[in-house]
Amino acid sequence: DIVMTQTPLSSPVTLGQPASISCRSSQSLVHSDGNTYLSWLQQRPGQPPRLLIYKVSNRLSGVPDRFSGSGAGTDFTLKISRVEAEDVGVYYCMQGTQSPHGYSFGQGTKLEIK
């Protein structure tokens, strides 16, 4: 099974400042089809998760462009260029490279406002 490790687990950020979350996988997420199935999800308090970014860097329609994803192989990053109050919540990275035989999530990173 692929283990996903996020850092930091908690990130206090000032409004308007950038934030960055790292995600590392225990093995390469490059699929045999050439795609890398690493995505980022946001979970606001009391809400179900919501997809933000898929295949490393593709923003879902409607997701603000202050969110961006990057990385390759086993190391990935989610960046928020200027944190807004509505960005408070927990962020998860997720691998779907092993679909449909397994999926795994990072532990989650709690983003909070200082």
Partner 1 sequence: DVQLVESGGGLVQSGGSLRLSCAASGFTVSSNYMSWVRQAPGKGLEWVSVIYYGDDTSYADSVKGRFTISRDKSKNMVFLQMNSLRPEDTAVYYCAGEGSGTFYMWGQGTLVTV
Q: Which stretch binds partner 1 (CB under 8 A): 12-20, 44-52, 69-77, 79-87?
A: 44-52
Per rule CB under 8 A, count of chain residues that contact partner 1: 28
CB of 6 to partner 1, least distance (A): 9
Whether omega for the bond prior to residue 12 falls within 30 degrees of 0, making it cis, is: no
CB of 67 to partner 1, least distance (A): 15
Interacting residue with partner 1 among 60, 66, 68, 77 (CB under 8 A): 60
Separation between Cα atoms, residue 50 and residue 52, nearest integer Å: 6
C-alpha atoms less than 13 angstroms from C-alpha of 107 in its C-beta half-sphere: 10
Distances (CA, A) of 60 to 5, 12, 77, 93, 114: 23, 25, 16, 15, 28
Residues 76-95, one symbol each (x = binds partner 1 by CB under 8 A, - = not), give: --------------x-x-x-
